[in-house]
Amino acid sequence: TGTQLDQTRRNCGITTVIATGVSLNIGVIGVEARGADNLDGVASENIVALCDIDSDRLAMAAKKHPNAKTYADYRHVFDHKELDALVVSTPDHMHAPIAVSAMQLGKHVYGQKPLAHDVHEVRAMMKAARKHRVVTQMGIQVHSSYEYRAAVQLVQSGAVGKIKEVHTWSSK
């Protein structure tokens, strides 16, 4: 099961676990758009719960993961006794409340950015993670890609000269 752990290490002041050859039992809250990408990213694990308030989106995700139980209310996902971790890909205002609730139950959390609404929520998340000795990670997608890191290196090294103005564009 996901609780059979082989090795431990220190990470950000929290003892974390590294499992080798063990699938985690994961619940995914928010299964469309970024949530669908996140679900695909953990598809090799044991998906035990899917949650979305949109029944059509939930049904589409459930077709890919027929053994997962489905929920419209995230609070019911916590009823899974074998749940090891959650992926939280909900609208922004729900990231911190869901993550804190999960951590208080000893569940590891991968959450989307923005991590929280304000500094108070971030501090509550940090406190819960330390107290319950769980691992957390925030999704940053493009910021960890090779291209992004290379661009940062070019700017920081001075290779592109002094930056005077920046223009950006997003398709969203």
Quick check: 12 pLDDT over 80?
A: no
Q: Enumerate residues 6+ apart whose C-beta is below 8 A from 140.
A: 113
Top mean-pLDDT range of 7-21, 57-71, 149-163: 57-71
| Cβ atoms within 10 Å of 35's Cβ, excluding its own | 22
- Give residue 152's pLDDT band: very low, low, confident or very high (50, 70, 90): confident
Please give the helix or strand (H or E) that residue 60 lies within, else none.
helix 55-64
Summarize pLDDT for 57-113 with one digit per residue, the tens. 999 999 999 999 999 999 999 998 899 999 999 998 999 999 999 999 999 999 988
SS3 for the chain, per residue?
A: CCCCCCEEEEECCEEEEECCCCCCEEEEECCCCHHHHHHHHCCCCEEEEEECCCHHHHHHHHHHCCCCEEECCHHHHHHCCCCCEEEECCCHHHHHHHHHHHHHCCCEEEEECCCCCCHHHHHHHHHHHHHHCCCEEEECHHHHCHHHHHHHHHHHHCCCCCCCCCCCCCCC
